[in-house]
Amino acid sequence: MDEARTTAAIEQYLADLAAASDDSAAEPLVRAVLARAVDRLRFLCSALLQKSYPRLTRAPANLEDDELLSAVVERLLKSLGRARPKNVRQFFALANQHTRWELNDVARRLDTRVCEKQLLEGTVFALESSGSGISLNARRMLEAIESLPEDEREVFGLVRIQGMTQPEVAEIVGVSLRTVQRRLNRGLVLLLAILADLRPDAPSTPDQ
């Protein structure tokens, strides 16, 4: 599917949605924009699940890409009835947010079940080694991404998480390609600084 045509179609649906006078007029537009964006949403779900939450793909959660996509679409069906993004940029920012929220909810529910099971068995282990949905280091990485300035976080999410090309992001965000590159590089530098101790060559902390 041609990406430029997809972007243009989503943009038109969003414009019609913003102008919709009531919920009955908005509902078919919400479903239309989600149907047109489903391939990109599936890619986003798969990228976040496989890269940042790989433990959720294994037992006991066994979360699959399409299962996550279904939950995210359900969230967006409800959200788009209230928050109506005016353009593709705002739409994918909203989709990104709901995908992270859904994954965090699944991870928290899994953590709760693991902790309850350990308490029943009389043992409590750190979440890092409990087989929970997301490791402590992964939590740190996600928190670091969330802490980026808005412009850098947006570009990082679109390029590194949603897998869009830098020219596509420049078009969606409405800035030059050079600006996209600058924001992406600045975001990476900030993340490297925040997570410096996770680098393989980082010096180990001496025992206290």
Map out the domains of the chain as residue ranges.
3-135, 148-197
Give the pLDDT confidence score for residue 86 in this predicted structure.
86
pLDDT digits (tens, 9 = 90+) for 172-196: 888 999 999 999 999 989 988 888 8
Q: How confident is the model at residue 35 (pLDDT cuts 50, 70, 90)?
A: very high
Rounded Cα distance between 142 and 144, Å, is 5
Give the pLDDT confidence score for residue 7 in this predicted structure.
87
For residue 55, which of 106, 3, 4, 20 has the smallest C-alpha distance?
106
Number of continuous H segments (helices) and E segments (strands) in the chain: 8, 0
**What rounded mean pLDDT belongs to the chain?**
81
DSSP three-state, residue 52: helix
The reported pTM is 0.65
Architecture of 148-197 per CATH? Orthogonal Bundle (1.10)
1-5, 74-78, 113-117: which is most confident: 74-78
